[in-house]
Amino acid sequence: MQIDTGIKESHKTAADDMILQKLTTGKVNKGEALKKAGYSLTVQHNPKLVTESKGFKEYMASHGITEDNLAGMLAADLNAKVGERLGEMKLAAELMGLTNKDLNLNVKQVDEGLLLMKQIIEQ
C-alpha cells in the first residue's frame, strides 16, 4: 500500500524543470515550468498556487530545500565562505516560492549575519 504524501507528478515535473532552467540559463520561468507540467493557464499565471502547495513543498523538502535549511545555509555561509553559495541560496528561495518580501529568516543565533545575508538576497 502506497502512502499518499501529497506529492503529485506535476509537482515533481514543475520543480525539476525549474531547477533545470536555473542550472542551464540562470533564470527561472515558473509559468513555463508549470506549462510543461500540464497546469492550466490560470495556474501558470499564479505559480504560488503550486509553489506554496503542501505537495510541492514536500517534494522540495525531499531534496533538502526547506525554509529552515535555507536559513541554516545562510548562517553557514557567513561563518565559512561568504558569498560562495549565494546563487544556490537564491535558487532555493525561488524554488520555495519565496520572494523578497516573503523571506523571513530565523535570526536568533546570528542576528547581524543573517540580516546582512537577507539584505544581499533582497538586492
Predicted confidence (pLDDT) per residue in 11-24, tens digit: 999 999 988 888 88
> What is the SS3 string spanning 91-113?
HHHHHCCCCCCCCCCCCCCCHHH
**Domain parsing of the chain, residue ranges:** 8-63, 65-123
Sign of CA dihedral 103, 57, 110, 83: negative
Predicted confidence (pLDDT) per residue in 23-54, tens digit: 888 888 999 999 999 999 999 999 999 998 99
CB 40 within 8 A of CB 47: no
In angstroms, the CA 12 to CA 35 distance is 13
In angstroms, the CA 29 to CA 18 distance is 7
The structure's pTM equals 0.57
